[in-house]
Chains A and B, each alone.
Chain A
Amino acid sequence: QVQLVESGGGVVQPGRSLRLSCAASGFTFSNYAMHWVRQAPGRGLEWVAVISSDGTNKFYADSVKGRFTISRDNSKNTLSLQMNSLTAEDTAVYYCARDTSVVASYCFDYWGQGTLVPVSS
């Protein structure tokens, strides 16, 4: 069955960096676009970034553009999110999510359990 398992979360000070990972299994990882979506505590959902199935195309929400970098390693079935210059507004549970398509449709059919990133001094 499809599994997405995030890791790398934890408390980080404002201005510092953190790298999240998502290990995928149960499907052909290289056939799907992949996303990061976040949810601040008690709040709604915010799309963060997308990467195409082959890793060549990447797009970001304005709120993270220039600070976050999405990447993937199809040989290791792994999705990553490098987060720099973190602020309190980045505090959230970060989910990796699979797109329904090889060409990103921005519809998310499988989600990981999420990893919490509290940004606090």
Chain B
Amino acid sequence: DIQMTQSPSSLSASVGDRVTITCRASQSISIYLNWYQQKPGNPPKLLIYASSSLQSGVPSRFRGSGSGTDFALTISSLQVEDFGTYFCQQSYSNPRVTFGGGTKVEI
């Protein structure tokens, strides 16, 4: 299975900061990379699909980038409501899709 490694595993930042989370695949996955945000007690929410496409309704401060093995999720100006855990997921090797271990963002 393709392993997805996220870093950092957690971070603390202030409102207005620019925050970047990275995700590395153990082999090339083209642009088949999705990002989700999960808040405690809630299901994940799709933010970005196909590496850089913004899901409908998601604020434009969220930006995805990358291809091949290296990807990034950037929040241009962190807001209070952006706390939570962020997961990357590869959908290249379906049905053996896999998720990263998560990055916990604290404000």
Contacts and interface: CB of A to CB of B under 8 A. Distances in A.
A6 to B, nearest CB: 10
A16 to B, nearest CB: 26
B49 interface: yes
A114 B49 contact: no
B43 A107 contact: no
Contacts of A59: 94-95
A109 B50 CA distance: 12
B44 A111 contact: yes
A32 interface: no
B43 A114 contact: yes
Closest 9 CB pairs of A and B: A111-B43, A106-B91, A59-B95, A45-B99, A106-B94, A106-B97, A47-B97, A109-B46, A107-B49
Contacts of A95: 43-44
Interface in B56-107: 87, 89, 91, 94-102
Given A100-B49, A106-B97, 11 more contacts: A45-B89, A45-B99, A47-B98, A59-B94, A59-B95, A60-B95, A97-B43, A107-B46, A107-B50, A111-B43, A111-B44
Contacts of A60: 95
A46 interface: yes
A59 B102 CA distance: 25
B102 A44 contact: yes
B35 to A, nearest CB: 10
B94 A104 contact: yes
Interface residues of A, number: 21
A50 interface: yes
Interface string A64-85: 0000000000000000000000
A60 B55 CA distance: 26
Contacts of B43: 95, 97, 111-114
B99 A44 contact: yes
Contacts of A46: 99
Interface in A39-62: 44-47, 50, 59-61
